[in-house]
Amino acid sequence: MALTQDELLAEFEGMTLIQLSEFVKAFEEKFDVTAAAAVAVAGPAGPAAPAEAAEEKDEFDVILTGAGEKKIQVIKVVRELTSLGLKEAKDLVDGTPKPVLEKVNKEAADKAAEALKGAGASVEVK
């Protein structure tokens, strides 16, 4: 039975960013396509460009840059933050630098960074 678009979206909604990323990679390989974002071609920037640069960023990525000496503690924190399984969390920690959380608000990014730093990891918030 084929799933409707709404049913597919409901399934994707329940997935973590890492699970969605893995799905996209598998989809690209299966159908030999790429899921690149469309890029709009714009003319030369006018006087509005400096105003746009002054806007405050509202989405942040928490990137694990190193596990430190307490790798097991870092894996536990990654699991808490992402709801990944043990193997996926270990692979993420082993493959640093990797994003732990993507496009989260400032409070969530700071909280996650503090939790990871408290476990002994090196973290970068972008």
pLDDT tens profile 93-106: 888 788 888 888 88
Residues 6+ apart with CB under 8 A from 15: 23
The domain made up of 60-125 is a member of CATH 3.30.1390.10: yes
Predicted TM-score (pTM) of the model is 0.52
pLDDT of residue 35: 62
pLDDT in tens, 5-41: 888 888 888 888 888 888 888 888 888 877 655 445 5
Give the separation between CA 57 and CA 49, rounded to whole angstroms. Answer: 15
What is the spatial distance between Cα 31 and Cα 75, in angstroms, rounded to a whole number? 33
Q: Higher confidence at residue 45 or residue 80? A: 80
- Euclidean distance between the first and final Cα of the chain, in Å? 42
Question: At residue 120, does pLDDT exceed 70?
Answer: yes
